Amino acid sequence: MGDHTDYNEGLSLPMAIDLATEATFTARPGSFLIGLASDQFPEPWELSLGATAPDPPQAALAASLVALAEPPSGGAVRVTSTIPIGAGLSSSAAFSVALLLALGRDVHSDPAALARLCQRAEEVAGARVGLLDPLAIIGAQAGHALSIDFATLESHQVAVPEDAAFVIVHCGTSRSVGASPYAARRAECERAANQIGRPLGRCALGDLSALGEAVLRRRARHVITECARVHEVEQLLARGNLSGVGALMTEGHRSLCEDFRVSVPPMDELVARLAHTPGVYGARMSGGGFGGCAIALCAPDSPALDPASHAPLAAWRVSPNAGAEVRDGGSTKPRSRTRSANRVPRT
């Protein structure tokens, strides 16, 4: 729970999932270039240190991350990933965290500062995003979701019941933050917050009376009710009430569709199908919207948990997993691994 609440100083509850991105950096002292090869792109990139040569446009995010990481020398980076691009599963945030850690940034000293570096790199590359995804990827623990208050950036771990099972299904329509109305939604939220006089994540439904435009009321209503759902879902999961949690997930999707207008017909059809599958407590879209994946909360024996049952749509059975980590540390070949993030109910 908690989509489009982070940049409104609201509440969110993401978890890291089994899909992951791994980056390995081999330093080459004296070199001013970083060669980056990824299994998700057909050609490798060469990124210059100190802007001594132009970088390819498709490597804008990687180039901005390298510039912010300030590695002492060039070298070679190898990136592998099981996270589909454009699926609303935080592929760019996982890549950002993995690359920064591989280039020597510390994941534990200041998680908020590392998340802000990821956010800044995305902005330089042309995407204005929030802090939710990198914070979730950095701070996640296995078997838990991460409760985050974006007014203070305070967080705490929330245990997910062992009998809560999850499946993610791609709706068949890919998404891109830069090419979607995501920026327009942020601007609408900012206008609403300015008229009310405080961030939407700190507002109550009574504050909607200060908004004269129906569109702004709808955008604000989603943020306010989504924060309330996050809080309520936490209480329900603490009691093991998965059916109640599922109902709020589906309600949250309806809010994203009707009030925030970030869904698309294939996503709505998928969520409706999932919600009516035996053993599914509830379902909703994942991520910023305009395509990508839906996530369903299921009983352990639900047929929806079988990825093959969703063919030809791609699907993954997932569980709350550990977040970012550095493996095989050393000055010559640090390897970092980061998990994809997903918004789920919080306990």
291-328 pLDDT tens trace: 999 999 999 999 999 999 999 999 999 999 999 999 87
> Token pair for residue 160?
């997910």
Calculate mean pLDDT across residues 58-79: 90
- The answer to whether position 43 is within a domain reads yes
- The answer to whether position 221 is within a domain reads no
Residue numbers of the domain that contains 111: 15-153+322-343
Q: Which has the minimum average pLDDT: 53-57, 154-158, 168-172, 277-281? A: 53-57
- The answer to whether position 316 is within a domain reads no
Give the global pTM: 0.89
- The answer to whether position 338 is within a domain reads yes
> Cα(330)–Cα(286) distance, rounded to whole angstroms?
36
Mean pLDDT of the chain: 90
CA torsion 225-233-130-125 (nearest 10°) is: -120
Q: What integer pLDDT is reported at residue 53 of this predicted model?
A: 54
Displacement of CA 268 from its chain's centroid (Å): 20
Percent over 90 (pLDDT), the chain: 70
Q: Which has the minimum average pLDDT: 139-148, 257-266, 332-341? A: 332-341
- The answer to whether position 71 is within a domain reads yes
Q: What integer pLDDT is reported at residue 139 of this predicted model?
A: 92
- The answer to whether position 251 is within a domain reads no
Higher pLDDT among residues 333 and 278, named by residue: 278
Residues catalogued as catalytic: 133
- The answer to whether position 48 is within a domain reads yes
Q: What integer pLDDT is reported at residue 330 of this predicted model?
A: 47
Is the pLDDT at 347 greater than 60? The verdict is no
Q: Give backbone dihedrals phi and psi of 28, rounded to 5 degrees, phi first.
A: -130, 90
Helices (H), the chain: 60-69, 91-102, 111-124, 132-139, 182-196, 214-238, 242-258, 265-275
Calculate mean pLDDT across residues 330-342: 64
CATH code, 76: 3.30.230.10
- The answer to whether position 275 is within a domain reads no
174-229 pLDDT tens trace: 866 555 688 899 999 999 999 999 999 999 999 999 999 999 999 999 999 999 99
Our count of domains for the chain comes to 1
Count CA atoms within 13 Å of residue 99 on its CB side: 33
Confidence label for 138 from pLDDT (cuts 50, 70 and 90) = very high
